[in-house]
Structure 1
């Protein structure tokens, strides 16, 4: 089973470059958190945000994909559903951005101290943050909602190297 961020206050997330995390105040993404997927610049770096609905989120590193839980009994079928979805022509281009290095995915409203404490206590449940590592480069973000069966739906946001 994947690690899900689902114990957050607002369920709006930011992919924060780790080197910028110590100065994170939790208000940087206020202008973009109503968008499903958006990006803003902070100290010369792109920060990806996922928002608009209070949905739990996880990272599937093998597929460079964030999955947001709309409804499902569990997430056991998610990896195979994402694998199947990679071949779909229904992905929608959302935006392009520059990424690379170590990031932390956390609720946009959390301040640096809270995020850093969560990362130090990796056994904390529910998780409040987790790390994401990405090769440097330009990425296109594409979104797709999948329904692997009538009782399951996930929103996917994948990063495609350009």
Structure 2
């Protein structure tokens, strides 16, 4: 079962390095609110941001892909659709950035205390997801897929350079 982050107050998610999470104030990504995929620097780290619309998001570790739910009855076909899209034409290069280590994907506007509380409390709906990446330079590519006429997901994958 895929865990989704279902809401964002800011219409922007941030991939925050765990080592800087305790000082995250929720205002760091204010400058990139209008872009679907962007990056910013904070405390010497590249931070990937996803947004511009308040779409639910999930992390698919096996394919290093973030999926945003545009419309679908459910997500049962997501993993096969992502696998099929891996070799598809149409992926657009968006940016490159340096990543590596342990991260937390959360609403960019949430302060550290709220994100950390979400990670500790498994009984409430998820507001943060853990992401672990091998250190290195990554190219971010985006693609919107329509596995069937009633389903659409936006994909943003990380490709090691």
Give me the TM-score of the superposition, normalised by structure 1. Answer: 0.97
Q: Secondary structure of the residue that 1:87 maps to in structure 2?
A: coil
Are 2:49 and 1:49 equivalent residues in the alignment?
A: yes
Q: 1:7-86 maps to which residues of 2 (within 5 A)? A: 7-86=7-86
Partner of 2:134: 135
Are 2:144 and 1:151 equivalent residues in the alignment?
A: no
Equivalent pair of 1:39/1:49 in contact (CA under 8 Å): yes
Deviation at 1:22, TM superposition (A): 0.3
Q: Secondary structure of the residue that 2:67 maps to in structure 1?
A: strand
Deviation at 1:12, TM superposition (A): 1.2
CA deviation digits over 1:109-159, x for unaligned, max 9? 10000000000013322x100110000000000000000000000000000
Equivalent pair of 1:65/1:156 in contact (CA under 8 Å): yes
Structure-2 separation of matches of 1:64 and 1:11: 22
Give me the TM-score of the superposition, normalised by structure 2. Answer: 0.98
Partner of 1:94: 94
Q: Secondary structure of the residue that 2:117 maps to in structure 1?
A: helix
Q: Secondary structure of the residue that 1:53 maps to in structure 2?
A: coil
Equivalent pair of 2:93/2:140 in contact (CA under 8 Å): yes
Structure-1 separation of matches of 2:30 and 2:150: 33
Say what the alpha-carbon RMSD is for the aligned residues.
0.8
Runs of 4+ aligned structure 1 residues displaced above 4 Å come to none
Aligned length: 161
